[in-house]
Amino acid sequence: EIVLTQSPGTLSLSPGERATLSCRASQSVSSSYLAWYQQKPGQAPSLLIYGASSRATGIPDRFSGSGSGTDFTLTISRLEPEDFAVYYCQQYGSSPLTFGGGTKVEIK
């Protein structure tokens, strides 16, 4: 199975700053089948990005995804107060579908 490693584990930033989150796969993710989710405490995850770079419906353009092969990045251009949360990547290029361990973006 494909193991996804996210880094850093925690990112401490201030509102207005840029956040760069990494997701590295143990083997190439076919067709850039990678998604990103946001999860706030006590809530279910919500879809941000699919296909490595396509924003889901209603997601603001401050969120962007990039990458291919084994290295993927989620960038939040300017953090808003509601963006402080945990972010997970997920690959769907091969079964079993797998998730990364998450990056927590916290207020500095």
Partner 1 sequence: QVQLVQSGTEVKKPGASVKVSCKASGYTFTTYAMHWVRQAPGQRLEWMGWISAGSGSTKYSQKFQGRVTITRDTSANTAHMELSSLRSEDTAVYYCARDPIGSYYYYMDVWGKGTTVTVSS
Query: Site residues (CB under 8 A) for partner 1?
Result: 33, 35, 37, 43-47, 50, 56-57, 88, 90, 92, 95-102
Cβ distance to partner 1 smaller for residue 15 or 27: 27
Cβ distance to partner 1 smaller for residue 70 or 93: 93
Cβ distance to partner 1 smaller for residue 9 or 81: 9
Least Å distance between CB 95 and partner 1?
6
Least Å distance between CB 90 and partner 1?
6
Cα–Cα distances in Å, from 16 out to 55, 78, 96, 108? Answer: 20, 4, 37, 11
Q: Is the dihedral of CA 92, 71, 3, 63 positive or negative?
A: negative
- Of 38, 64, 62, which Cα lies nearest the Cα of 51? 64
